Amino acid sequence: MILRGALAIAALAGLAGATFAAQGVSPDTGVSDPALARQNWILKCQGCHRPDATGTPETTPAMAGIVAKFLHVSGGREYLARVPGVATAPLDDTQLADLLNWTLYRFDGAHVPADFRPYSAEEIGRLRKAPLRTEAPAVRAALAARINALAESDL
C-alpha cells in the first residue's frame, strides 16, 4: 500500500511536469501573443520588409539573419525601437513591444544576445517618443560600421 501510494505521488509529479512542458514554458522572449505579433507583421511590416524579412532591394534593408546584431553594439537597442517603421507603427506600446521582440526571435534568433532583456511596453513607449526621421539611414550606417568591426565570434 505504501509503495502504491509512493508510486501514485511519483506519477502525479510526472504528470505535473509534463503539463508544465506542454504549456511551452521557455525562456522569456517578451512575446505574449505570437499569433497577434505575426498578424501585425503581415499587416503593418511585410509590405516593405517582405514576409521573410529579406527586404526590398534599393529601399528596405534585409533583417533576416541580421537584425539582432544591432543589440550587440551601443545605441543599437534604442535604434531598433526608434526606427520610423517601428516608432510610428499604428500599434499600442504593448503590441509594438510584442512585435519587435517577435521580429528579433523570428528572423534572427541566432544573434539575440544570451542576456537580452525583451523590450517592455514601457521602454517602447519611452523610445518611440523620439522617432528617427530622415537621419535614420545615417544612424543605421554608423551602427552597421560598429557591427562590422565586431568579430563573428562576438555575435
Contact 96, 89 (CB under 8 A): yes
34 binds ligand HEC (CB under 6 A): no
- The residue type found at 28 is D
51 is an interface residue for ligand HEC by CB under 6 A = no
Report residue 27 as a C-alpha cell.
525562456
Among 130, 135, 76, which residue's Cα sits nearest to residue 100? Answer: 76
Pull the grid cell for residue 31.
512575446
Contact segment (CB under 6 A) with ligand HEC among 24-32, 43-51, 110-118, 147-155 equals 43-51
Q: Is 44 in the site for ligand HEC (CB under 6 A)?
A: yes
Is 45 a residue that touches ligand HEC (CB under 6 A)? Answer: yes
Taking Cα atoms as reference points, which of 146, 140, 138, 8 lies closest to residue 154? Answer: 146
Residues between 59 and 78 with contacts to ligand HEC, criterion CB under 6 A: 59-61, 63, 67
112 contributes a contact to ligand HEC by CB under 6 A? no
Stretch that binds ligand HEC, among 15-23, 28-36, 84-92, 114-122 (CB under 6 A): 84-92
For residues 55 and 113, give the distance between their C-alpha atoms in angstroms, rounded to a whole number: 23
Report whether 70 contacts 143 (CB < 8 A): yes
In the complex, which residues of this chain contact ligand HEC (CB under 6 A)?
44-45, 47-49, 59-61, 63, 67, 80, 83-86, 89, 99-100, 103, 136-137, 140
